[in-house]
Amino acid sequence: MYWKETARDFLALGSIPFYAIVIIRMMIIPEYVPLVAQLIVAFIAILGLSQIFKFEHHVAQGIPIAMFTALGYKDLLFAIFALLLVIGLVFSANYLKINKKFIMNGVISGILCTVVSYYAVNWLF
């Protein structure tokens, strides 16, 4: 039972409320405005992509959260921690018996939307 709850906690890292708290936290510091924009663009891209493809949304949304918070903190230790959380998120989705194809599509979608939002926003700022 404990492992199932922990796996659900990992999935919560890609949830909309967690996404919102990260955005609000980053909005407090003016230098994070581009990162906030990147998170918002990635979220919109994930929503748009979900209209075309089926994938695990928590996994897809967890990737830009990890990437852009790691970029914001500019700290190797935090970046490693964020990467480990994403790996835990993927393994947790698998542990909870979510379709492996949906998980893999979530990883691909998350990476794709993160890269697109990174370059799109950097082009604007």
pLDDT in tens, 72-117: 999 999 999 999 999 999 999 999 999 999 999 999 999 999 999 9
The yes-or-no verdict on residue 125 having pLDDT over 90 is no
Per-residue model confidence (pLDDT) at position 95: 96
C-alpha 42/C-alpha 61 separation (Å) is: 8
Q: What confidence category does residue 124 fall into, taking pLDDT thresholds of 50, 70 and 90?
A: confident
The yes-or-no verdict on residue 1 having pLDDT over 80 is no
> Which residue intervals of 15-56 are DSSP H helices?
16-27, 33-50
C-alpha 120/C-alpha 90 separation (Å) is: 26
Domain, as residue range, for 72? 2-124
Global pTM reads: 0.94
The mean per-residue pLDDT over the stretch 5-19 comes to 95
Per-residue model confidence (pLDDT) at position 99: 97
Q: How many domains does the chain have?
A: 1
Report whether 23 contacts 39 (CB < 8 A): yes
Which of 42, 90, 105, 106 is CA-nearest to residue 69? 42
Per-residue model confidence (pLDDT) at position 2: 86
Report whether 36 contacts 26 (CB < 8 A): yes
Mean pLDDT score of the chain: 96
The yes-or-no verdict on residue 64 having pLDDT over 90 is yes
Per-residue model confidence (pLDDT) at position 104: 98
